[in-house]
Structure 1
Amino acid sequence: MATTLRPETQAPARVGTDLSVPASSPPRLYAIDGLRFVAALAVVVYHYAARWSQVWGDEPGVVFPEIGPVVIYGVLAPELFFVVSGFAILMTAWGRDVPHVVASRLARLYPSYWIAVIATSVLLLWIWPAGKDISVGEALVNLTMLQEAFDVRHVDGVYWTLWTELRFYALMVIFVAVGITRKRLLWFCAVWPVVAQLARELALPEVMRVMLIEQYAPFFAGGMLLYLMYREGHARLPWLLVAMNVALAVRNTIPWQMESVTTNTVFTPSPVVLGVLTAGCFVLVAVLTMTRLQRLPWAWLMPLGALTYPLYLIHEFWGWWLIDQLSGHANRWVVLGAAITLALVMAWGIWQVEKRVSPRARRWLERTLRRGRGRAPSPSGQAATKTA
């Protein structure tokens, strides 16, 4: 979820060159900003108009039979986010060092997340305890973003994706420490998803499956391969590896989402549509980054992309709360629109704080990490402070 789509200052690398030397920055991928925002809205509408909750007084799918069979496929938005994350995080990490990558990721993830956790905890503890029974202790553990590692419930169920993202970031930090090269990247994106799949199929120890991000490794790896081709051009081997990762992603996603959607809604999704849309996650990122659409000049999409992360974090319980307050007193479509509007307004407010706090936090973290290593900030680190 928490990805930044502005390429860091760097030039396309050639095989065998020193990848630690950055140069000029390619243009911003505005089309990906728009894609991320549409995906976030799909999650919002899925949660409000299809996923089970008591706030409408009836099953949401019964309240919205017209759109329910379509919006259930918004459940695949996190998978799309993971492909985008593989692309964007490799973009951020390639040619950088560990302090820069760690500082940029932590400063990007935590400010908005802390605001969302505090806001949702206040709602559930004191304003609307009927929404979900949580404790202050659970809320405090959630502030670490490591609650799943401590077997503590998420204050908001949507936080599960952040634990997945954190594990991917940890792998990327190790990769940066080792050194990213084209050859290593190809081996990594070939071996990691296969090993993760074997761990899943053979039911190996949970700690191994958690470290390998078993179910979602193909999405991240596929996104990384798409960035490699965005950076260096089309090549047969990367495309073959993308195809392999798409196949693994489809294999994992169809049975999982068939069960999830059938359990959490009144609808039964089509396995064919699930498979096509899962593959479509990769296709969309490829089309928007490796065709003329990569040069789409619509700068107005940038703030929409910036709203994606806070919208995802804040929408669920605050939207359900407003629906609970209004559903018996207004037209269902008006209530749905009001909930979406509230989520967007709150996301905008979080973004206003984030865009002021995150750059400062990133600079402070990077200085601190470099001081600990006895190194001065690199030119790439200084340049990177201009982008979010």
Structure 2
Amino acid sequence: MVRLKELDVLRGIAALNVVIFHYTSKFRMNFGHNYPSKFDWEIGRYGVELFFMISGFVIFMSLQGKTSLEDFAYKRFSRLYPTYWICVFITFLIVNLSQDPKMETNSIPVLLMNMSMIQGVFGIKNVDGAYWSLVPELFFYAFMGALFQLRLLRKMRTIAVIWLTLMLSNSLFTLPFGAYLLNLQYGMFFLAGILFYKIKFDGGDWREHILIGVCFLAGVIENPTLICFGVFSAIFCLFYLFVYNKLTLLTWKPFVFLGYISYPLYLLHQNIGFVLMRKIGRYISNEFLVIFIGIISMITIAWLVTRFLEKPILHFLRNYRFHKPRYSGSFQK
């Protein structure tokens, strides 16, 4: 699958926004900040919606060409779970060892349930609050795998109309099980990513543009605030710039780098960052500096995990399945 540098830029932008939101607004809510609340980065919480749109684009792209449901499932598992397990364990260990009275620790059973990634479905708390977004991701993967197996991906326009109708209905009436099983709360962003792929690579026309507009409308109806209207407008505009090759000017190496480490950064930054900021806040009174040190520290840790754990493990798992040696004839020693 072709790697698009612009997608790394978008991942980097999304990751940085989520981190700054957690270290300003979320940290203030949980522990208090001394600097004025006007500096809180509230819009950063919607970096997750950008991640969902990127997933829609990438997952649909991964199901094109010669592949199988088994290969798709294996690639998704190898991409998500090993790194997730590492980050869950690191977070559990650091938070439990920090002995911070304001940080909620977790038991071994909770840790083990978190290894499933779907603990939220059963009402079991996350080792880190950021993990909530992994459930919509997993349900989207399952949904796309089912469409692929049923050979329905070619009917994406029809599916989009049905899916958007259910999303809009859910916003008005709250359909049972809709939020989880059919991704009705966030599906408009995944779907928009798919439609943007079709415009960029698969001969999409005015119908895709209309459906993208309805995705935007569904997102605003689900989140009816002025700030959401503005942020979602920016997210959709960024993707339009991307599909029409106008985002190349923003392929700034720091954003590409943040995209490269975005998954471990997302998984590790929140609770570990809170522990770190509370520790160094005892010695540094300038909270802007505390936030900056927290961001740089977590970027460094995420890079170490990416460079020395995530990528080597992913490389090994992919090579094991797709490039393992094949023998013919008699057994060779």
TM-score in terms of structure 1 length:
0.77
Shift of 1:65: 3.5
Shift of 1:298: 6.0
Alignment pair present for 1:100 and 2:66: no
Paired residue for 1:290, among 244, 249, 268? 244
Alignment pair present for 1:355 and 2:311: yes
Contact 1:55 1:320 (8 Å CA) reproduced: no
Paired residue for 2:160, among 182, 186, 189? 189
Residue identity (%)? 28
AA partner of residue 201 (structure 1) = L
Paired residue for 1:170, among 119, 142, 149? 142
- Partner Cα separation in structure 1 for residue 29 and residue 281 of structure 2: 11
Shift of 1:304: 2.7
Match of 2:117?
145
Match of 1:49?
24
AA partner of residue 286 (structure 1) = Y
Paired residue for 1:236, among 201, 206, 211? 206
Match of 2:290?
335
Deviation by residue 1:45-64 (Cα, 9 ceiling, x = unmatched): 111112245776xx23x524
AA partner of residue 212 (structure 2) = V
Contact 1:107 1:362 (8 Å CA) reproduced: yes
AA partner of residue 318 (structure 2) = R
- Partner Cα separation in structure 2 for residue 305 and residue 78 of structure 1: 13
Match of 2:129?
157
Match of 2:329?
none
Contact 2:170 2:184 (8 Å CA) reproduced: yes
AA partner of residue 189 (structure 1) = A
Match of 1:211?
181
Contact 1:193 1:245 (8 Å CA) reproduced: yes
User: Alignment partner of 2:120: what SS?
Assistant: coil
User: Alignment partner of 1:241: what SS?
Assistant: helix
Shift of 1:128: 3.2
Alpha carbons of 1:244 and 1:134: their partners in 2 closer, same or farther (altered >3 Å)?
A: same
Shift of 1:336: 1.2
Match of 2:331?
none
Contact 1:196 1:217 (8 Å CA) reproduced: yes
Query: Which region of structure 1 is more displaced relative to structure 2, 150-159 or 187-196?
Result: 187-196
User: Alignment partner of 1:329: what SS?
Assistant: coil
Contact 1:113 1:313 (8 Å CA) reproduced: yes
Shift of 1:110: 1.1
AA partner of residue 176 (structure 1) = F
Alpha carbons of 1:151 and 1:109: their partners in 2 closer, same or farther (altered >3 Å)?
A: same
AA partner of residue 223 (structure 1) = G
Shift of 1:217: 1.0
Match of 1:266?
none
Shift of 1:73: 0.5
- Partner Cα separation in structure 2 for residue 295 and residue 280 of structure 1: 17
- Partner Cα separation in structure 1 for residue 168 and residue 28 of structure 2: 33
Contact 1:30 1:296 (8 Å CA) reproduced: no
Deviation by residue 1:86-123 (Cα, 9 ceiling, x = unmatched): 11111111222211211111111112211110011112
Where do 5+ consecutive residues of structure 1 fail to align?
1-7, 9-24, 255-270, 369-375, 377-388
Deviation by residue 1:202-258 (Cα, 9 ceiling, x = unmatched): 23323x44211111111111110000111134511111111111100111123xxxx
Mapping of 1:1-388 within 5 angstroms? Answer: 8=1, 25=2, 28-53=3-28, 59-60=32-33, 62-68=34-40, 71-95=41-65, 96-128=67-99, 130=101, 131-179=103-151, 181-182=153-154, 184-206=155-177, 208-254=178-224, 271-293=225-247, 302-330=256-284, 331-352=286-307, 353-364=309-320
Deviation by residue 1:124-171 (Cα, 9 ceiling, x = unmatched): 223335311321110111011121122211111100000110000000
Contact 1:199 1:214 (8 Å CA) reproduced: yes
Alpha carbons of 1:328 and 1:54: their partners in 2 closer, same or farther (altered >3 Å)?
A: farther
User: Alignment partner of 2:127: what SS?
Assistant: coil
Contact 1:29 1:289 (8 Å CA) reproduced: no
Contact 1:107 1:358 (8 Å CA) reproduced: yes
AA partner of residue 304 (structure 2) = G
Match of 1:17?
none
Shift of 1:362: 3.4
- Partner Cα separation in structure 2 for residue 323 and residue 296 of structure 1: 30
- Partner Cα separation in structure 2 for residue 226 and residue 351 of structure 1: 28
- Partner Cα separation in structure 2 for residue 200 and residue 310 of structure 1: 32
Alpha carbons of 1:365 and 1:129: their partners in 2 closer, same or farther (altered >3 Å)?
A: farther
- Partner Cα separation in structure 2 for residue 33 and residue 102 of structure 1: 22
